[in-house]
Amino acid sequence: MPAKVVVGVQWGDEGKGKVIDILASRSDVVVRSQGGNNAGHTISHQGETYKLALLPSGVLYPKVDCYIGCGVVINPATLLGEIDAITARGVSCDRLRIDPRAHVVMPWHITLDGLSEDGLGKDKIGTTRRGIGPCYMDKAERVGLRMHELCDPTLLRQKIQAVGTRKNQLLSDFYGCQPLDLWEITAEFEEYGKRLRPYLSDVSDLTWQALQDGKNVLFEGAQGTLLDLDLGTYPYVTSSNPVSGGVCVGTGIGPTAINEVLGVAKAYTTRVGGGPFPTELFDEVGNTIRDVGHEYGTNTGRPRRVGWFDAVIARYGVRVNGLTGLIVNKLDTLSGISTLKVCTAYETQDGQRLTSFPAAIEQLELCRPVYAELPGFSEDISGCRTFAELPRACREYIAFLEETAGCPIVMVGVGPGREQMCVK
C-alpha cells in the first residue's frame, strides 16, 4: 500500500506546497488531513502561481482524486471561492470529495476568534482570526456543525438556532457585542450546502479502497510540527495536529497503511505569530533572508520572523514524526551570505547544554543557541538539478544539516519552481 505523508518540520511555511505538487504529479490520490484556511500553499505550476488554502494541492492534476478529510475545518465561503477561482483558470474540481464528518467554520467562530485574541493584549497568540480555534473548540465540546448537517436544510436550521442562540448570548453578555442574525446566517449557509452537497463522500472509505487497489496516496496537512496542539510550542500553536500521527485521525486511515513520512524544512527557520524563537535574527542578515526569500504569509501577508537553521528543532521533528526522509527548501535564499550558522544545541541560564527540544516554552524562552559556523556561498544555484552540481560549500552545508538532524536529506530546493529541486 504505497502511502506517503508530507509534514512540516518547523513552524510551518516550509514550502510543503511545492513538494506536494511534485509528489502529487506521481500520485493517484491526495488527501488533506487537518487545519483550515488559516494556512496556505503557494504553488508554481506550468508558469502560473496558485495560492490554495483548503483545496488539496493535487487539484492541479486532472487525473488525481482530491479528498478533504474529517480533520479539516471548512469555511464554505472560502472553499467555494477557491473552487470558483481555480475553475475560472481552467482547472476542474470534479474529482474533489469532502468527508461529511469535517466541521464547518461559522460566523460566530470568526467573531469570537478576533474578540478572544484582542482580549489577550500583549500575550496575543497571533492567530489569523479566521475562526479556526473556536471551530475546533466546538468540535471538542461536541456542539460543532459538520458538513453533512450543512448539506441537510432541516439539520442546518436546527443546529444554527440551538448553537447560535448560545453564541449570541456569549457575544452580548460577555463581550457586549451585537448578536448575529441567525436567520440571515441560515439562508446564507443553506446556499453553501446546496453547492457543496455533490462533493460529500466518506473520505476514509475512499482512501482505504484506493490503498487496497494499490494506488499511490499522498497525505498532506497544514502548518508544521512546532504548531502542533500537543507537541508544539504551546500555547503558541494551532488547534489541530500537523504531525504525521494527525494524518491517521484526520483521514480515518490506520498507521500501518503509511509507508513513508517525508519532512519539509527550510535551509533556515521562520515562524509567524508570538512565542519563543531561539535562533531569531534581528539584524541585516535576517532582513536580507526575509526579503530574498519573500517571507510573507501566503494568506495573511504578514512578515515572517526569520532565524538560522535550528538542528534541535529538526531532530525533534524527525523523532515525533518518524521521518524517513528530509527535504530542505530555499537553499538559494542563503546565497551571498558569507558565513552560515546552524544551531546544534541550546544553553540554559545555568550553563547546561540541551540537545533535545524542551517541552515547556518557559524553558525554551531562556535558552540561548549554540552555533556551528560554516562557510557561505555566493553562486547562483537556481539551475542546479543534482547534488553534484551544487558548489562545495552548499554540499558541505547540506551534509552538516543531515548529520545534525539525524535524517537523510533526499531533496534540496534551489528556487520556487517545481523543477528547481536537486534530488539525491
Catalytic residues: 13, 41
State the Cα–Cα distance between residues 231 and 35, nearest whole angstrom: 15
End-to-end CA distance of the chain: 24
- The alpha carbon of 346 is separated from its chain's Cα centroid by a whole number of angstroms, namely 26
State the Cα–Cα distance between residues 262 and 399, nearest whole angstrom: 18
Residue 31's DSSP bridge partners are 67, 219
Long-range contact pairs involving 84-90 (C-beta distance under 8 Å, separation at least 24)? 86/50, 86/52, 86/55, 86/59, 89/48, 89/50
> Strands 409-413, 325-329: parallel, antiparallel or unpaired by DSSP?
parallel
Residue 317's DSSP bridge partners are none
State the Cα–Cα distance between residues 397 and 408, nearest whole angstrom: 13
> E strand or H helix at 44, and its extent?
strand 41-45
392-405 vs 311-321: helix crossing angle, rounded to 10: 50
Grid cell at residue 276: 519563543
CA distances from 319 to 295, 322, 424 (A): 27, 5, 22
